[in-house]
Amino acid sequence: MRLLLGLAFIGASLFAQVATLTGRISDPSGAVIPQAKITVRAKATGIVTSTETTAEG
């Protein structure tokens, strides 16, 4: 019984880690930077996710 409860909590915590980042990447002059690579690392888990900006930066 304890093992099943433990697995249920582990499974729930794996799916609960969701975040959304929004914004624009721009240079010092304010011009957007299209196709900029963005990499984010969660400090708590060490999970790294990468993406690329759109044409609108």
- pLDDT tens digits, 1-57: 344 444 444 555 555 567 788 888 888 998 988 988 989 888 888 888 888 888 887
User: In this structure, which long-range contacts are made by residues 23-31, counting pairs with CB atoms below 8 Å and at least 24 apart in sequence?
Assistant: 24/53, 24/56, 24/57, 25/53, 25/57, 26/57
Q: What's the whole-model pTM score?
A: 0.55
In this prediction, residue 29 carries a pLDDT of 93
In this prediction, residue 16 carries a pLDDT of 54
**Cα separation of 24 and 22, whole Å?**
7
In this prediction, residue 41 carries a pLDDT of 87
